[in-house]
Structure 1
Amino acid sequence: MTTRGAQESRGAALFDVDGTLVDTNYLHTLAWWQALRRHGHDVPMARIHRAIGMGADRLLDHVLGQNRRREEDGSVADTHGALYATWYENLRPFEGATELLRAVAARGWQVVLASSASEEEVNAIRGRLDAEEVIDAVTSGGDVDVTKPAPDLVEAALRAVGAEPEDAVFIGDTVWDVEAAGRAGLPCIGLLTGGTSRAELEDAGAVLVCEDAMTLLRRIDTSPLSRPPDRAGG
């Protein structure tokens, strides 16, 4: 977990990273598929894609079952990490993603990156976003024992900037993001850029679904991100 220092108590906009800000979900799917095959598991890519957004712990439960050989989890995850790292130089933010982060910060929100990915993977993406000056804190899968859809990562992100659930909004691209936010007491805005359908995000509880970061940026002043809650004198 990294922060820019002590923050005054104010609203927080929590952003998932993979599939929300950067076009990586299908790269993760491919890297997990290859890693699993190298360890003797032939899992359809469609099943893997449905689990993207979870941390390695939950993803392997989802695709292999809880009765798998857990002693190989670390090796499978390390193989995925090594395969995915070959794409670092080619990672690209979605159109409007960096501008969205800056627009949210300009409206008074604290900006937090809250990802289930490893710290190394998140750091690789931070370098591509070119928005360090507006990012107040970053959490990764290594900051919690259980990742999305459990609320732990969302709660850790709130603690990092001293925000309360009622003063925060989560922005993600998977049902796991929506579920994690809901369990932590936050509304979630869903984006379609991760490959999850509008109906699935809405059924999971998303309060707004936009096509992509650029669409949300254009609609920001009529969205839950228009301005943080004003608790002055409250």
Structure 2
Amino acid sequence: MLRDYVLFDLDGTLLDSLPLIETTFRHVFETMDIPWENGAVMKTVGLPLRDACRQFAGERWQELFDCYIKYQLEIHDEYIKVFPGAPETLAEIKPLVKGVGVVTSKRRPMAERGIAITGLGRYLDHLVTLEDVEKPKPDAEPVRRGMEKFGAAPEQTVFVGDSYFDIESGRNAGVITVGVTWGMASRAELEVAGPDFLVETWADLVRVLKGLS
């Protein structure tokens, strides 16, 4: 049943952190008088925060970065939520595979905090964060780091994510990729990214994983 190892993205896949991210960006953009531009910055979710800050604040990127980190820390625990169905799905999958991990572009302190608050840590064996790689998603390195944690080969591994950056990273690493539609990207955007499978519910995800024998 399944591939031996399942890796998940965190924000927008397991954690419903998008309201937290948008609220934080709106606050810091207003504080720094940066145009919101219909929320274009939200399309960068999945990239390292520094890259998004450089894109939208130019030479002031460090100021934006610091303001973002400070404000998000203040509101994080109030806003962070787990997607309904995520804990139950992880609980169902975990006994059937050799390992379950998370691969995220988030910094380790906030990733660990979100996982702890939502209680997902009991289902996870390893965590790969921004600090663990030189080249973040969509490069293959983050997913490869996840495989290295388990000693896994690409043909043994599935990567589940909600963004183009996730799908591209998984494809570059040579693993099976599954796109989920409940995160930031629309179904159409994910179809362009070209995952091996595209699912709309947790039940769909479990069916796909069980079919990868």
In structure 2, runs of 5+ residues without a counterpart are none
1:138 positional shift = 0.5
Tell me the equivalent position of 1:75.
63
Q: What SS does the corresponding residue of 2:39 show, helix, strand or coil? A: helix
* CA 1:219–1:192: 2 relative to 1, 3 Å: closer
Note if contact 1:19-1:194 (Cα within 8 Å) is conserved in structure 2. Answer: yes
User: What value does the CA root-mean-square deviation take over the aligned residues?
Assistant: 2.2
> How many positions carry a matched residue from both structures?
210
1:62 & 1:56 partners in 2: Cα distance? 10
Deviations 1:77-127 (A, max 9, x none): 222122222132332111111111122212114111111111121012111
TM-score (norm 2): 0.87
Matched, 1:23 2:16: yes
Matched, 1:219 2:207: no
> Which AA in structure 2 matches 1:82?
K
Q: Paired residue for 1:103, among 81, 92, 101?
A: 92
**What does residue range 139-158 of structure 1 map to in structure 2 within 5 Å?**
139-158=128-147
Matched, 1:129 2:118: yes
* CA 1:156–1:46: 2 relative to 1, 3 Å: same
More helix as a share of residues: 2
Matched, 1:42 2:38: no
Percent same amino acid at aligned positions?
A: 24
Note if contact 2:147-2:154 (Cα within 8 Å) is conserved in structure 1. Answer: yes
1:146 positional shift = 2.6
2:175 & 2:143 partners in 1: Cα distance? 9
2:93 & 2:110 partners in 1: Cα distance? 23
1:20 positional shift = 0.6
Matched, 1:116 2:70: no
1:57 positional shift = 3.2
* CA 1:22–1:110: 2 relative to 1, 3 Å: same
* CA 1:12–1:58: 2 relative to 1, 3 Å: farther
TM-score (norm 1): 0.80
